[in-house]
A and B are shown apart, each in its own frame.
Chain A
């Protein structure tokens, strides 16, 4: 094992490291600070908002907007890791992140996150439009200050309210293309907003020990697994018809209606299984299945919306 990998996380030591001390960070550590997997979902949902907006946008401007949204999301991730380094260090799922692993100091992550946040908002405002920049700035602030610093360690409703931050990217994309906020972009926001609780609580059901050790008041830790299962089912009951509403309101085509209906029924079935299977391995399997399928569900909804928006122009449909 290298000297870098073997360094143990110690926040106080990292904070007092002299400024001229050599950095251990590699480029891949900085890439990891951006949370690339979360970033890819943000890019995808923002792209859907951008192409669904009723406005023509030059491909270069669209690319610039997506780049800024992606960097803004990455900056939020870096600032989240900076603030949460102490709890990341005690959770198995996050203990290998760059700060707890000792590769990047909290100060380096803070500087990286602030620089990218300011840069992405400024560039979006100067090269695309002010509304999109304002929404991106609000999204970053909401994720870092409201969710990470305030809600996450305080209330089991953390991911419900904080989930708004993850739901904003389609609205930012829509605003980047049209300069406004439409009803459909609000619907896209609501779909992700109501998708977030069943998605994260399914994960929290089988990772509750991790969250309890870190002192994060996730719903299964505070209210117990049975209440979490009930809440998952309730949110899924709201989510499925909401996800079908773009079709019923005439904003999406028949393909979206079919996919949102079939995938929604599967999502509901898996949520019912989570609600009914409460003990042992079957309970954990049900939660894992719901967590895995929820990612596919959101991807399918947005992928069909994307295809329906670009297919007529690309394939002459």
Chain B
């Protein structure tokens, strides 16, 4: 007997092992680029603020 409440299985897009490997490599590369950008923006912010950042009128 078929269970009426059970949702039919959707096959969707099935990746080959090679496609999975490439997708993972792309994801790692994007993560590395985003991480490097965070570090760059942090360092540039420190450089632009300069050493006198704490010297200011209260």
Query: Measured between C-beta atoms, what is the minimum distance from B42 to chain A in Å?
Result: 11
A4, A22, A24, A58 interface centre (most CB from chain B within 10 Å): A22
- On chain B, the residues within 8 Å of A127 by CB distance are 41, 44, 48
1/0 contact trace for A78-103 toward B, CB 8 Å?
00000000000000000000000000
Please report which residues of chain A, range 1-33, place their CB below 8 angstroms from some CB of chain B when the two chains form the complex: 2-4, 20-27, 30
Inter-chain contact total with CB atoms closer than 8 Å: 40
Interface flag for B43 (CB, 8 Å): yes
- On chain A, the residues within 8 Å of B54 by CB distance are none
Q: How many angstroms between the C-alpha atoms of A61 and B41 in the bound complex?
A: 11
- On chain A, the residues within 8 Å of B22 by CB distance are 23-27
Partner pick for A2 among B18, B41, B48, CB 8 A cutoff? B18
Q: How many angstroms between the C-alpha atoms of A240 and B18 in the bound complex?
A: 52
Interface flag for A60 (CB, 8 Å): yes
B47→A21 contact, CB < 8 A: no
Interface flag for A245 (CB, 8 Å): no
Main secondary structure of the interface of B (DSSP, over half): helix
Interface flag for A64 (CB, 8 Å): yes
A64→B13 contact, CB < 8 A: no
A64→B44 contact, CB < 8 A: yes
B13→A23 contact, CB < 8 A: no
The closest CB in chain B to the CB of A4 belongs to B18
Q: How many angstroms between the C-alpha atoms of A27 and B31 in the bound complex?
A: 12
- On chain B, the residues within 8 Å of A58 by CB distance are 47
Query: Measured between C-beta atoms, what is the minimum distance from B18 to chain A in Å?
Result: 7
Q: How many angstroms between the C-alpha atoms of A308 and B55 in the bound complex?
A: 39
1/0 contact trace for B27-58 toward A, CB 8 Å?
00100000000001101100110000000000
Interface residues in B, total, Cβ within 8 A: 16
If A4-B18, A58-B47, A127-B44 touch, whether A25 touches B26 (CB-CB below 8 Å) is yes
- On chain A, the residues within 8 Å of B18 by CB distance are 2-4
A22→B23 contact, CB < 8 A: yes
Q: How many angstroms between the C-alpha atoms of A127 and B16 in the bound complex?
A: 42
Partner pick for B13 among A22, A25, A61, CB 8 A cutoff? A22
- On chain B, the residues within 8 Å of A21 by CB distance are 13
Q: How many angstroms between the C-alpha atoms of A207 and B23 in the bound complex?
A: 37
Interface flag for B4 (CB, 8 Å): no
- On chain B, the residues within 8 Å of A61 by CB distance are 44, 47
1/0 contact trace for B7-25 toward A, CB 8 Å?
0000001011011001101
A27→B26 contact, CB < 8 A: yes
- On chain B, the residues within 8 Å of A30 by CB distance are 26, 29
* Ranked 5 nearest A-B pairs via Cβ: A27-B29, A60-B47, A26-B22, A22-B19, A27-B25
Can you sample 19 A-B contacts with CB below 8 Å? A3-B18, A21-B13, A23-B19, A23-B23, A23-B26, A24-B19, A25-B22, A25-B26, A26-B22, A26-B25, A27-B22, A27-B29, A30-B29, A60-B43, A60-B44, A61-B47, A64-B40, A64-B44, A127-B41
Beyond the given A22-B19, A27-B25, A127-B41, could you list 18 further A-B residue pairs with CB under 8 A, ordered by the A residue number? A2-B18, A21-B13, A22-B16, A23-B22, A23-B23, A24-B19, A25-B26, A26-B25, A27-B22, A27-B26, A30-B29, A61-B44, A61-B47, A64-B40, A64-B44, A67-B40, A127-B44, A127-B48
